Copies of this chain bind each other. A is one copy, B any other.
């Protein structure tokens, strides 16, 4: 019931790109150094963000990653889903009975969680930051 480290890296990367250089490309080496994680591993995570359309990558010298246009509207849920996939918390039951009370109760609570994450956007966080210490 914890988010993975990979998700945490992804969220930090997004936020870092947002507050430092939303328009310039940043290489994975720099991003990895900030988070004390190996560049090779972080690059796999970044590729997922690229595949899900929230980050743009450019190869070659002076290449790197930057956020898409409209990144302000990307939600925390978008990022989490891009890394963790979409499985529900009650995905541990074989017997998928649609009337199941247990599943209904858990999914209802889970939706409260997902809705709030879906309403928190990168732009909101990026605005609040800068006043506080960064990442």
Name A's B-contacting residues (CB within 8 A): 1-5, 7-8, 11-12, 15, 76, 84, 87-93, 97, 99, 101-102, 105-106, 108-110, 112-117, 120, 125, 128-129, 132-133
Q: Given A102-B125, A113-B112, A128-B101 in contact, is the A89-B3 Cβ separation under 8 Å?
A: yes
Q: Given A112-B113, A113-B109, A120-B109 in contact, is the A92-B128 Cβ separation under 8 Å?
A: no
Number of copies: 2
A2 CB contact (under 8 Å) in B91, B99, B112, B116: B91
Residues of B within 8 A of A7 (CB): 92
Q: Is the CB of B99 within 8 A of A132?
A: yes
Chain B, residue nearest A36 (CB): B94
If A2-B92, A8-B102, A99-B132 are given as contacts, then 11 extra A-B residue pairs at C-beta distance below 8 Å, sorted by A number, are A1-B1, A1-B87, A2-B90, A15-B101, A76-B105, A76-B106, A76-B109, A108-B116, A109-B113, A112-B112, A112-B116
Residues of B within 8 A of A108 (CB): 116
CA distance A88 to B101 in the complex (A): 25
Q: Is the CB of B3 within 8 A of A90?
A: yes
A117 CB contact (under 8 Å) in B5, B109, B116, B120: B109
